[in-house]
Amino acid sequence: MTELVETSSAPALSLGRRLEIVPIVLFAAFAAAPLLAMLSGAEGYVLSLLTRVMIFGIAAMSLDLILGYGALVSFGHAAFFGLGGYAVGILASHGIEEALIQVPVALAASALFALVTGAISLRTKGVYFIMITLAFGQMLYFLATSLAAYGGDDGMTLASRSLLAGSTALENDFALYGFCLLCLFGVYAFSRSLVVSRFGRVLRGTRENALRMEAIGFEPFRYQLTAYVISGMMAGLAGCLLANQAEFVSPAFMTWQRSGELIFMVVLGGLGSLHGAIIGAAAFLLLEEFLPEILHMTSFFLAEETRSHLAENWKMVFGPLLILIVLFVRGGIMGLLRRPRHG
């Protein structure tokens, strides 16, 4: 019988191993990208774009943790972006530029906000949960616009990037890129561990059948709230990084559209695989960046005037394109990657 228990997970494991190739390739690509950036001749542009991809990857992954594994549709996740960003901005404007202070403050603020808003939101279910997280997000957005001392509507420019243990290393774009990659990997590794842990199993069980979980003695609320706090902290970290990448913070960090984009990235990449969220963020941002050119190139058969119109109004194509992908590629991009193997 003991043998049975051990051989048990063999099929699941080999399936898991086969899919491990995706995150390995993904992280290898991120690691190799700076070299390609140097060769491309537009290294500043490429680096900043990919740094943004990784930052949004962290945020999307944090959302996947509660959305994909907990079925909690938070429509206010950009609020944590804002909290992280403003923690950096406000502290910097008071002369505290050390990341070793800024980041813990940002994480603590995110955790507190998640704890309070989560404790209220998680009392509700379904569409009410979506609406109430949206409302809390908007609350924070309007608070930010009213912070006249910190730029109000316009936001504020950072004098410089954060110090790292006193050093100005992050001023270098390669160093910032490396730092973001490290954060992305750290958050990914922790999340992977989390979802298969005892805690993650309770979270996944609650997603499938909360009543059954209660009937074996779990209080779903405690686990969901903890997951919400962890997720909020991860997104807060992404906010710190985004402020450094943009060297600017503004209420635009936390618009509800941004929250919607995060949901879109997660669904686009494929719910509940973590690296899918990173891929979704990459696909979203790269498509947003290059769609005008792609449209211009692929519409060679049209008149020049129409082509430039099309490229200008690329958003008219972007929205429907995303919707088509989500509708017809079940399981998002990860679903697409898995499909050929399953036949």
Partner 1 sequence: MAEPMLELRNLRKNYGALVVTDDVSLAVNSGELHAVIGPNGAGKTTLIHQISGMLPSNSGKILFAGEDITQLSMPQRVAKGLARSFQITSILPGFSALENVSLAIQARSGSSFRFFGNAAQERALNEPAMDCLTHVGLSARAHIPAGLLSHGEKRQLELAIGLATEPKLLLLDEPLAGTGHDESQRVVETLRRLKGRLTIVLIEHDMEAVFSLADRVSVLVYGRLIATDTPERVRANPEVRAAYLGEEEMV
Query: For binding to partner 1 (CB under 8 A), which residues are involved?
Result: 1-2, 4-5, 8-9, 11-12, 190, 193-194, 196-202, 204-205, 208-209, 211-219, 223, 226
Q: In angstroms, rounded to a whole number, what is the distance separating the alpha carbons of residues 173 and 177?
A: 6
Residue 37 CB, shortest distance to partner 1, in Å, is: 35
Q: CB-wise, 16 or 319, nearer to partner 1?
A: 16
Minimal distance, residue 4 CB to partner 1, in Å: 7
Q: Is the Cβ of residue 70 or residue 137 nearer to partner 1 in the bound state? A: 70
Contact partners, residue 4, CB within 8 Å, separation at least 6: none
* Nearest CA among 67, 111, 65, 62 for reference residue 238: 62
- Nearest approach, Cβ of 234 to partner 1 (angstroms)? 13
Give whichever of 196 and 324 is closer to partner 1, judged by the CB atom: 196
Beta carbon nearer to partner 1, 69 or 264 = 69
Q: How far is the CB of 200 from partner 1 (least distance, A)?
A: 7
Shortest distance, CB of residue 223 to partner 1, whole angstroms? 7
When the beta carbons of 205 and 331 are compared against partner 1, the nearer one is 205
- If the CB atoms of residues 83 and 202 are measured against partner 1, the closer one turns out to be 202
- Closest separation between CB of residue 19 and partner 1, Å? 16
Nearest approach in angstroms of CB 190 to partner 1 is 8
- As measured in angstroms, the least distance from the Cβ of 226 to partner 1 is 7
Query: Of the two residues 272 and 332, which places its CB atom closer to partner 1 in the complex?
Result: 272
> Closer to partner 1 at the Cβ: 210 or 310?
210
